[in-house]
Structures are given as structure tokens and as C-alpha cells.
Chains A and B, each alone.
Chain A
Amino acid sequence: EAGVAQSPRYKIIEKRQSVAFWCNPISGHATLYWYQQILGQGPKLLIQFQNNGVVDDSQLPKDRFSAERLKGVDSTLKIQPAKLEDSAVYLCASSSGVKKVRSPLHFGNGTRLTVT
């Protein structure tokens, strides 16, 4: 099966600019996640979708971050305006499980964002 696709692979922007990341999950996976991974740390969940609904966005900085999953397939994560501390790798993951079902996460290779 094709894996989780993410683009772009790298992005460099200046602070206060906006940026968008795209993710295409594994076909048929109901749940999609966006994680932020700062260098030297583990991934931190930003938002979890089940189909096209939001399950958990408690750690998403909603004043500057937004995400959508139209039609329950692809997803876009946007940052506007970016801050220096947003420099990180943004990982998309998908799973076939839903809220009460255990299943592993499948990750894309991420987008490395550098804010200067």
C-alpha cells in the first residue's frame, strides 16, 4: 500500500509569513493526525481528525494554526502568522482505528519548517 504522503519536504519562511502543509493519508484510513516535532523532542499532537470531524484539537494554537480535512481524505495544516518557535518538523499520520479501536499510526516523512 502507498504510505502517507506529505509536501513540501522543506520550507523556509520569515516570521509573520504564512505557510501551508499538505497530507494525503493511506487510503481508507479514517483517522488523521498532525504532530509537531521540535528537534530533540518527541512528536506533540496538534490535531486529530476522524473522517472529516475534529476529535481533539486541545493543543492546537488556534490563534495562528488551522487545519481542515475536507471530504475526510486529504488534510491541510496552516500557520498564519508564523513565529520563530514554530520551527519544527510537522508530521502527518493516519490510522485505520477510530476513537475506541487500537491501531498503530502510519507516519509520513514530515515537512521541516524553518522560520527566520
Chain B
Amino acid sequence: SQQGEEDPQALSIQEGENATMNCSYKTSINNLQWYRQNSGRGLVHLILIRSNEREKHSGRLRVTLDTSKKSSSLLITASRAADTASYFCATANNTNAGKSTFGDGTTLTVKP
């Protein structure tokens, strides 16, 4: 069964707006990762946040983690048409930190 669940399933915004995607999970984690997947391609790693971290930034990306609520959010600021893709969260537990379990993703469409 999938560990992470992304919300919303689909999101459509205008270029320049911010996009926020959420991920909820069920069991305790070692780390949580966000990936992007363009149509017909493999997944690309965006950010890894460890269970003892609360927030991380990378360029226009901001990830938060709330372990008490078992949730994470990915914020993309000043979105561009090139950000159009599916975004997945993946969790790894303490037993096997090398194994990542993926949710079904949020499909983001950024209109020019």
C-alpha cells in the first residue's frame, strides 16, 4: 500500500502564481523526499527533508515537515510553464532508510 498521499490530485494555476502541494503519511519516517516527473520521463529528485528538520529551501522550492501531523508541503513560488509536471512525495522509514514509498502524485499545470 502507498505510504504517502498527495493533495490535491490536480492543480492548475497561472504563470507567476505560487503552487502548494501537500503530502500526508501514516507511519513514522526517517526522511521524506519530493520528486518531479515530466511526461514520459523518469522522476527527478527535488528535496530530501529529514525527520528532525522542519523546513528546507532550494531555489523557488520550500518544503515543510510536520511530524506531529504526519504531513509535508511543497511550495513552488513564482511558477513557470516549465514547472508543469507531476509531483510525488516519497517516505522512508527507520527500518530501511534506503527504501522510498511513493504516493500517487499531484499533477500541476502552469498556464502561460
With A43-B102, A48-B96, A107-B35 already in contact, 20 other A-B pairs whose C-beta atoms are closer than 8 Å:
A35-B102, A40-B104, A41-B104, A42-B88, A42-B102, A43-B43, A45-B99, A45-B101, A48-B99, A55-B99, A93-B43, A102-B30, A102-B92, A103-B98, A104-B33, A105-B90, A107-B42, A109-B40, A110-B41, A110-B42
Proximity bits, B71-108, A CB within 8 Å = 1, else 0: 00000000000000000101010001111111111000
List residues of chain B with CB under 8 Å of any chain A CB: 2, 4, 30-31, 33, 35, 40-45, 48, 50, 88, 90, 92, 96-105
Chain B CB within 8 A of A71 CB:
no
Tell yes or no: A91 within 8 A of B by CB. Answer: yes
Are B102's CB and A44's CB within 8 A? yes
B9 to chain A, nearest CB (A): 9
